[in-house]
Copies of this chain bind each other. A is one copy, B any other.
Amino acid sequence: MFFASDNSSGVPVQVLEGLARANEGFAPGYGGDALTEQVRARIREIFEAPEAAVHLVATGTAANALSLATFCPPWGAIYCHRVAHIEEDECGAPEFFTGGSKLVLLNGEHGKISPQTLAEKLQGAARVGVHNVQKGMLSLTNLTECGTRYSVAEVSALASVAKDHGLPVHLDGARFTNALVAEGCTPAEMTWKAGVDVLSFGGTKNGLMGVEAVVIFDPAKAWEFELRRKRGGHLFSKHRFLSAQMDAWLTDDLWLSLARHANAMAARLEAGLKAVPGATLAHPRDGNMLFATFPHAAHSRAQDAGAAYYFWPGTQSPAGNDSAPMNARLVTSWSTTEAQVDQFLALLAQR
């Protein structure tokens, strides 16, 4: 009953097997090996983007911060949601990698920015001169930090506003695959066809040990990204071990299956919560993450039985009144089982 985060899960056996296969003999370092080239080609194919630059890194923070730095100058404003991972969970990595750009925070229900909110903000920023930071970039997250999903149409609408102001668009896709399979569209539709310029294509939360692909749809930025990656200490010498994981993950649509399973487990949780007295959802569930409010007593039963999850926002334990409703962030992963979900639901629903 571990619902604290999808990054608490391990990796499927295919990934271990991939590592073992890649371990044979010597291989050129720093991405010069054949397997890396194969993985890059495969990702270009999946995204129907034969010109795209593809780079692997090991953490989502690296993928995001390097992407932002490659597209936004130090004096640029990066527009993002108030609860975006780049704002709340990266200890200022975007500011560090960009050389001091400014994150401009936008409000929006359920973790989503509306095109109107963005348009108004950019309109207001339109005529500042040298005194203020300049309009730099838009960064979206899909799935959002609230577990909701931007539809293709919503991404398009937001990117369209950004383009009206000449801004490139970054997509933090730490849970991209969860959004993708929920939306039921193609990777291309979810990204460059909707106006995304650079994607952090997350593997770690969906079954890898620590691999993210940065996909840059305009290859003119590729060399700058490579230099920034190296300079950031994010170029692996034994790069084949990143590629091997990604290769296993992309083979036979494993990445899609893993995300579908995680989403299905969250759907099962959602369905089961309807039977829990007093339980409500704080946000619509679109993928593998849900934010549920339920009574203190239910929390106590679950936690006493070993269930792990975060109270959100804030990590405080509740005090006092047993019936006080509390907000739980529940994240499922590729390795969550039906039995775990059902056991958890049974504890909550118990009287």
Cβ contacts A40-84/B at 8 Å (1 or 0 each): 000000000000000001111111111000000111000000000
B-side contacts of A36, CB under 8 Å: none
Cβ of A163 within 8 Å of any chain B Cβ, yes or no, is no
**Which residues of A (84-107) have their CB < 8 Å from a CB of B?**
88-93, 95-103
Q: Whose C-beta in chain B lies nearest to the C-beta of A224? A: B73
Shortest Cβ distance from A97 into B: residue:
B233
- Select from chain B the residue with minimum beta-carbon distance to A99: B99
Q: Interface readout for A217-230 with B: 1 if CB under 8 Å, 0 if not?
A: 00000001011101
A150 to chain B, nearest CB (A): 23
Closest B residue by C-beta to A233: B62
A184: CB under 8 A from chain B?
Answer: no
A2 at the binding interface (Cβ < 8 Å): yes
Tell me whether A233 and B59 are in contact in the complex, defined as CB-CB below 8 angstroms, given that A74-B92, A89-B131, A227-B134 are known contacts: yes
Complex Cα spacing A12 to B90, Å: 34
Which residues of chain B are near A10, meaning CB under 8 Å?
22-27, 238
Closest chain B residue to A3 by CB distance?
B26
Q: Is the CB of A61 within 8 A of B230?
A: yes
Q: How many copies does the complex hold?
A: 4
Is B102 touching A230 in the complex (CB atoms < 8 A)? no
User: A74 — which chain B residues lie within 8 A by C-beta?
Assistant: 92, 95-96, 99, 231
Given contact pairs A130-B30, A130-B235, A226-B130, A95 touches B90 in the complex (Cβ within 8 A): no
Chain A 95-134 per-residue mask, 1 if CB under 8 angstroms from chain B, else 0? 1111111110000000000000000000010010011111
B134 touches A204 (CB 8 A): no
A241 to B64, CA, bound (A): 21
* A232 contacts B233, C-beta separation under 8 Å: yes
Query: Which residues in B have their C-beta under 8 angstroms from that of A227?
Result: 73, 75, 91, 130, 134
Contact residues in B for A321 (Cβ distance below 8 Å): none
When the two chains form their complex, are residues A99 and B102 in contact, meaning their CB atoms are under 8 A apart? no
Residue contact B130 to A91, C-beta cutoff 8 Å: yes
B7–A16 CB distance below 8 A: no
- A301 beta carbon closer than 8 Å to chain B: no
Set of chain B residues within 8 Å of A8, measured between Cβ atoms: 26-29, 238
**In the complex the two chains form, what is the Cα distance from A233 to B200 in whole Å?**
13
Bound form: Cα–Cα A130–B107 in Å: 24
Q: What's the minimum C-beta distance from A199 to chain B, rounded to whole angstroms?
A: 16
Residue in chain B with minimal CB distance to A8: B26
Instruction: With a 10 A CB-CB cut-off, give which of A9, A27, A73, A227 has the most chain B CB atoms.
Output: A227
The 8 A-B residue pairs with the shortest CB-CB distance in the complex, in nearest-first order:
A62-B233, A95-B100, A2-B26, A7-B237, A61-B233, A10-B23, A209-B241, A91-B230
Given contacts A60-B237, A73-B227, A102-B103, 9 further A-B contacts (CB under 8 A): A2-B26, A26-B308, A58-B58, A59-B233, A61-B233, A74-B99, A88-B132, A90-B131, A93-B233
Would you give 27 A-B contacts (Cβ < 8 Å), ordered by A? A4-B26, A5-B29, A7-B237, A8-B27, A8-B29, A10-B27, A16-B23, A26-B308, A58-B58, A61-B235, A64-B233, A75-B228, A88-B132, A91-B130, A91-B230, A92-B231, A93-B233, A95-B95, A95-B100, A96-B232, A99-B99, A102-B103, A127-B315, A130-B226, A209-B238, A210-B236, A210-B238
